[in-house]
Structure 1
């Protein structure tokens, strides 16, 4: 018997969660729909879940808090697709920083949700399930910095650690894995979130700005992340990879 992807829907709107569950079931997935954080935890305790569709504006515990909890605990490797009624880019960025793998703004077409779910699942299965489970940990060195792929933080030339959000880490890894190569916004979104951009999506630009601040990189004369007008971005510094056996 073929194993179906198990999608957990967390939304306090009964009509929405029932509609999504029915649609996903018709398209070959196993869907479980719950109203809030307590029920979400109960389902996760019962057995494996392949992806969580999580509404941002839940009553009680909101989606951002639940996403942060997921990323800090034993379910941190489960992909999260966040639903939001808010159309502000800053809200999208906050969701991505909390660890969401993608987001979709309400109202949305259920066909687009299905396509996003499949893209996130493909992306998740292309990568090692957890950095901490890998046999070899990499230390990536560039300019005045090192990136510890186990702890997921930066280390400057003085040995000071600089914490990164989940979104900042994924973006920096995309650059370090493809140094001195032009990456379009679509490519960066696909590498970091497993999806393509839409016409008005500037979330990558905001994340690049935040990452430049972490790297103390002057946007007017950048040393690391350079902007190529009408093309995208390029990570200009050479990258040295050193493997550390654990």
Structure 2
């Protein structure tokens, strides 16, 4: 199985890798909701293991975005310490297919994942195009445009754009963007600054009104062009 794990607890993540990888499963992981959403939009997985309590974008919101905005039908198993009936109902209402309460058995987890995959041919988006204002991005074709005009980005630029579109119009922290691009192996230098500058050159410079806004000391966000008409262009 190709499995996406979205879990911010390092010990749980290490246990999942240690148990599932030796059995031949292919794993990708993210430690926050926006990073998980970016991976889910870029790749097709057989199943997703999703923690509810995540930084940035919680598991319930992430699952809703998978279903409503990305059109993903990939089976989702939620992991959580919350075991009340209302909590479980909230998980299923968000689009989850199964629910496992922490602490859990790794053997049971794998059995449930296999059962979800057997019951569903999910993992393919019915409408993968992400949109916000004039911006559009199709993760399947790696094509981006603004106002119908194609824009060309680097691979890192596409990853940053996915994260920003998934959160728009909310702020995405620098830490979240770095996690989505480099995972835990983040560069020592301020490499993000360079990539944000390149992204801005592609999606803003050719157009009269910028959409990528810097939030000083916090991160970045996309805004509707109308909201930016009276503001100066940001500097990275």
Return the TM-score normalized by structure 2.
0.50
Q: What is the TM-score when the length of structure 1 is the normalising length?
A: 0.48
